[in-house]
Structure 1
Amino acid sequence: MSHLNEHGITHLRHVDLAVPDFEVQRSFYKDTWGLTEEGKDGNLSYFAAEGSPEQYIVRLRQSDDKRLDMLAFGMTDAAAVDAFAQKLASAGVQLVNEPGELQTAGGGYGFRFFDVDGRTIELSSDVATRQHREIEEKEAIPVRLSHAVMNSNDPNRTRDWYANVLGFKLSDTLWGEHMGEMMHFMRCNDWHHSLAIARGPHTSVHHVSFEMRGLDEYMYGTGRVMRAGIKKIWGPGRHHAGNNTFTYFLDPSGNTMEYTTELERLTTDEWHPSVYDIADPMTQDLWGTADPMSEFIARDSFNDPDKGLFVAPPV
């Protein structure tokens, strides 16, 4: 039984965001969200999670335009990186660069390309790990990056591209009577999803999710961020698909950030995706503690149209 992605993609490494309000965002991720600023290099800032071996899980870049700079995923080794770069290029995928030594924190070997919607994706291997530690009881800071959800105005096309081109597997789908298929949960390892594709009016970041140590820490963290005056969009609650807890907040740039815990791990490759009807209150929130999903809640996560499509970030 193997959960390994057929091309050797192993996990989500980091999410890179460009923001106009750089200093405000630095303060938010460091002082409110509970990440550790590992380094600052001019207009770049790298944030790590204390419980994660990744060099960083969020990179902020000062920019006039708000955009997703990049989604970065790990690969098994350099040979897999080379083989897959060649495969993508021959399939007509636009590469940003050829595989080579990475110039970012932790080094490594990798390359970048554009996905079907124009997001920049990086695949890499051999990135140095950082000294990390076990998060202690009642310590309400993120353990690791859990998953990233992206908006697409054609989520089925985006789902098919990630499945057919990158080898992600579909775990589950959310469906609505008027909107059709609303969200696809995709996996590259045994976590229920590392990536999800949501139906939105345009290509943008829907939300980025951070795993907490346990339920207690998740609730302490939720309360701390609420007390800091950050706008809570939705939660606390527990989703049906993935069985994970959720509380969503708007960061100062208007990107949605989530605290979660207990995301399901799939024990078999013979997983059969379910389609969950969003009209069923149990689909959105098994506990019934969050407000019912509404168009107002949904609109917050539509985000601004991404200004970086098919334009690779400068660094």
Structure 2
Amino acid sequence: MINIFKLGYVEFNAKNLEEMKNYYSEIVGFTESDQDENGSVYFTSSTDHHNIVLSPSNQTGIKKVGFQYESDLSINEVADYLKRFDIKTTIQFDAKPGVPELIQFEDPEGYQIELYQSMSMTKKPGYKSKGIVPNKIGHLSLRVKDAKKQVAFYEKIGFVNTDWIEDYFGFMTCNRDHHVLNFFTSEKKGMHHIAFEMRNYAHLVDTLDFLRLNGKHLEWGPSRHGAGHNIACYHYDPEGNLIELFTDADVFIKELGIFDPRPWHQDFPQKPKVWSTDECLSLWGVDFEKALV
């Protein structure tokens, strides 16, 4: 058995590498930790060797996703375990700086997934004094052909389904965060958004002023979502990747099958459920000028 417990890193293709480097360094406030022989640039949010990777490309958008796991099994035994679910894997050694070994596979929608057990700590300080400076990557949202099939696949490898928006938007976690992944049924393929966790609402508000002063304008928010109850707002990075900044997300207590109670919940206890689109997107009644789903 394996226990996947963390969304560790997201790798992006970057057409304009310098512009993307500037965004993740000077705007997001991550620290450049490494570069490899292929020209890929690595950024850390805190102590991990990397949490964001930018790879030079003639394309844009998401390239790979890395999850950290724990297990008493060897990497070969983990690969054999995944074969039980008809997952074809490749084992790689020293394929990324800071990651001595990893298992790579494609999920049913063709997204490149990497599982790793250990990552070295960065030699450079992660948190900066300027920029957004989030706590961490909170979650990743992906467009898929069939959210139900995608949710079923990730349940096989240990993720838990925490909420739905109707039957087209499934939320999943591998720890106590309300969601680490969500899947949105769409005719398009690609990332819907990546979300960075803020420390509190004051941090979020200060960041919105910082973004405005640096020419970054919001597409929507802030407002409180229904599923997850996170206070969220959205903007785009230089290559059109949608970025969510959020705080105050629900905490999942898996052992009880509920979310840690909060005064703003309407259900007591708040349990995983199916939300309608209208009630879920904004509990504060903030309208979307542009559709996000």
TM-score range, shorter chain: 0.7 to 0.9
Pick the aligned partner of 1:47 from 25, 43, 46. 43
Contact 1:138 1:217 in 2 (8 A): no
Structure 2 equivalent of residue 274 of structure 1: 273
Please state whether the residue corresponding to 1:47 is helix, strand or coil: strand
Q: TM-score by structure 1 length? A: 0.81
1:251 maps to 237
TM-aligned CA distance change 1:75 to 1:159, over 3 Å: same
User: Over residues 25-69 of structure 1, what are the superposed CA-to-partner deviations in whole Å (9 max), with x where a residue is unaligned?
Assistant: 1111111122211223352111111xx332111100010122422
Q: Distance in 2 between matches of 1:46 and 1:138?
A: 19
Query: What is the aligned partner in structure 2 of residue 104 from structure 1?
Result: 96
Aligned match of 1:286: 283
* Contact residue 233 and residue 297 of structure 1 kept, 8 A: no
Q: Which residue of 1 aligns with 2:31?
A: 36
Give the 3 Å change call, closer, same or farther, for CA 149–53 of structure 1 in structure 2.
same
Q: CA deviation at 1:228?
A: 1.9
For 2:224 and 2:129, how far apart are their aligned partners in 1?
A: 21
Structure 1 residue aligned with 2:20, among 25, 41, 55? 25
Using the aligned pairs only, state the percent identity: 24
Helix, strand or coil at the partner of 1:226: helix
CA distances 1:224-269 after superposition (whole Å, capped 9, x unpaired): 1233222422111111211211111111111101111122211242
Q: Partners in 2 of 1:225 and 1:239 — Cα distance?
A: 21
1:117 counterpart = 2:103: no
1:1-315 equivalent positions in 2, closer than 5 A: 7-41=2-36, 42-49=38-45, 52-77=46-71, 79=73, 81-95=75-89, 97-98=90-91, 100-130=92-122, 140-164=132-156, 166-175=157-166, 181-271=167-257, 272-280=271-279, 283-288=280-285, 290=286, 292-293=287-288, 296-298=290-292
Structure 2 residue identity aligned to 1:19: A
TM-score normalised to the size of structure 2? 0.87
What's the C-alpha RMSD, in Å, of the aligned pairs? 2.4
Separation in structure 2 between the aligned mates of residue 129 and residue 247 of structure 1, nearest angstrom: 30
Q: Distance in 1 between matches of 2:127 and 2:282?
A: 27
Cα displacement (A) at 1:134: 9.6
Gaps (5+ residues) in structure 2?
A: 258-270
Number of residue pairs matched by the alignment: 279
Query: 3-state SS of the aligned residue for 1:232?
Result: coil
Shift of 1:201: 1.6
Distance 1:109 1:185 in 2: 29
The 2-side partners of 1:70 and 1:217 are apart by 29
Q: What one-letter code is carried by the residue in structure 1 that aligns with 2:3?
A: G
Question: RCO greater where, 1 or 2, for CA within 8 Å and sep 6 or more?
Answer: 1
Q: Give 1:130 shift.
A: 3.0
In 2, the alpha carbon distance for the partners of 1:217 and 1:125 equals: 32
Query: Per the alignment, do residues 81 and 198 of structure 1 end up closer, same or farther by CA in structure 2, a change over 3 Å counting?
Result: farther
Counterpart of 1:58 in structure 2: which amino acid?
Answer: I
Measured in 1, the distance between the counterparts of 2:158 and 2:195 equals 22
Contact 1:146-1:211 within 8 A present in 2 as well: yes
> Does the CA contact (< 8 Å) of 1:250 and 1:257 recur in 2?
yes
